[in-house]
Structure 1
């Protein structure tokens, strides 16, 4: 048996506000983002109070990366300057490649009830940062799912899921960062051991219940905690009482990361060019 991936850190997110005042839990982002390469930011939004989300995210620009929005509950409408319009509903995913530039809005299409989900920012390699932007809505019905022998339900959003018993390709594949994004629902008493490529960054975000990490330093991880793991070894997950979590892994790019708000490039000069392009109306 190979060594298990070790736990580098267990940390809570930080309260944040973005867009026109949407309350968020910023799980990763800001200082130290290079530790999560190729991932730049993970936000969780979860509220049944419309005052926390109703103002939404009016038109704003992006350049140099991809955004993945995964809705658990609620409805969010996307519109962008390319003419794309989409409505994200419970279980749906939006995969947007900003590349050289996209200006979009994300506005709640409800006035009451729960709004819950995640947005993950995935970096692009330098050679693709000024490529053509793209957009894809993926309905929940088109996202592969499987159930393991111990009853764990796996929503395979991106990458290739493999636990030694079952394999399933996700709805999205990316060649350079090779992201793996799975939503795991562990019933009480279940276990699972997803296989991840050696050298890939890996992290877990528990959003419901309590996750158990076995091994010499066994730990229980409650909801609202991010687990940052080492880049090598096996991964074994379990839950005594049940848990829901995101498993996020990817191949580091190993390139400089320079971020200024919604722009992520490789140098300060490229950021300054992005600001000029947005000012001059030629971002895309």
Structure 2
């Protein structure tokens, strides 16, 4: 593309293994969303499990939200782009996350929580990512991180590109920026990247890490291949991701993490290593001791 203000790739560009497209779905109390990973996509995406892109044009559309429900064995990362979401759980954690903020919840041995929209009017738009926990951490004590927009650092680059660093480290020249969420088992990189028309960016990825790019909106080329909005590029071998914004500019998530290489057993809100562990999670929940 002749209009690109391209950077010279100093690393081997990662190839694209496949492109996934979000499919309409609903969850919670009928909240409409687009799901782009889900159970069938778990294979080959280790340690990522699921990505939901949920939205509502008015407060009335989203009012039902996600009433109290359980989780065990993984982490949920809720990132609000517009509107707000109130998190409450059985441990007494409570946080209202507004646009630009993140709720990072480690379910561990068990959490029962709710996620309810909180806005007076206007649009709600958010993303929820599920990241697996290693077997040794699946029954750890649950934890909750409330990360409002003001604690999430950002790099504003000379070519107009903005990179918000939610987790991991983004290096712009000699000034690395460390994300707000730290001490995560899979060492994730979670970036919100905005590229104006004609801008380009190279994102280095640690060797052996699984990397994904999800296009929130606009037009984007990933490693030379065009994505449409609500599509995800699953990256393969290489050392970095090349991003180039097309005619409309682009906003995308860049995700990477250390694979666990462990078996995955999944049933609804539970992600364990074996079916026997799933059975115990269900029994614990039915007995009221999932989160004891």
Shorter-chain TM-score bucket reads over 0.9
Q: CA deviation at 1:272?
A: 0.5
SS at match of 1:91: coil
SS at match of 2:136: helix
Q: Distance in 2 between matches of 1:96 and 1:130?
A: 14
Structure 1 residues 264 and 191, CA gap change in structure 2 (3 angstroms): same
Q: Is the 8 A contact 1:15 1:24 kept in 2?
A: yes
Match of 1:226 in 2: 232
Q: Distance in 1 between matches of 2:94 and 2:64?
A: 18
Q: Distance in 2 between matches of 1:3 and 1:174?
A: 28
CA RMSD of aligned residues (A): 1.4
Q: Distance in 2 between matches of 1:157 and 1:175?
A: 12
Per-residue CA deviation, residues 88-136 of structure 1 (Å, 9 max, x unaligned), is 1111100111000000001112353201010001111100100000111
Q: Specify which of 219, 237, 246 is matched with residue 243 of structure 2.
A: 237
Q: Distance in 2 between matches of 1:2 and 1:91?
A: 31
Q: Specify which of 200, 206, 213 is matched with residue 204 of structure 1.
A: 213
TM-score with structure 1 length normalisation? Answer: 0.95
Q: CA deviation at 1:139?
A: 0.8
Q: Is the 8 A contact 2:87 2:114 kept in 1?
A: yes
1:266 aligns with 2:273: yes
SS at match of 1:269: helix
Match of 1:136 in 2: 145
Match of 2:105 in 1: 96
SS at match of 1:183: strand
Match of 1:192 in 2: 201
Q: Distance in 2 between matches of 1:49 and 1:120?
A: 23
Match of 1:54 in 2: 63
Structure 1 residues 234 and 84, CA gap change in structure 2 (3 angstroms): closer
Q: CA deviation at 1:163?
A: 4.4
Q: Is the 8 A contact 1:189 1:238 kept in 2?
A: yes
Q: Which moves more between the two structures, 220-229 or 42-51?
A: 42-51
Per-residue CA deviation, residues 22-74 of structure 1 (Å, 9 max, x unaligned), is 00100111113021111111000122144542210110000000110000111
Q: Distance in 1 between matches of 2:93 and 2:169?
A: 28
Q: Specify which of 253, 262, 272 is matched with residue 260 of structure 2.
A: 253
Q: Distance in 2 between matches of 1:213 and 1:79?
A: 37
Gaps of 5+ in 2: 1-9
1:282 aligns with 2:289: yes
1:122 aligns with 2:131: yes
Q: Which moves more between the two structures, 237-246 or 167-176?
A: 167-176
Q: CA deviation at 1:208?
A: 1.2
Q: CA deviation at 1:3?
A: 2.9
Structure 1 residues 283 and 137, CA gap change in structure 2 (3 angstroms): same
Q: Is the 8 A contact 1:44 1:117 kept in 2?
A: yes
Q: CA deviation at 1:234?
A: 2.5
Gaps of 5+ in 1: none
SS at match of 1:236: strand
Q: Is the 8 A contact 1:54 1:111 kept in 2?
A: no
1:63 aligns with 2:77: no
Q: Distance in 2 between matches of 1:40 and 1:113?
A: 30
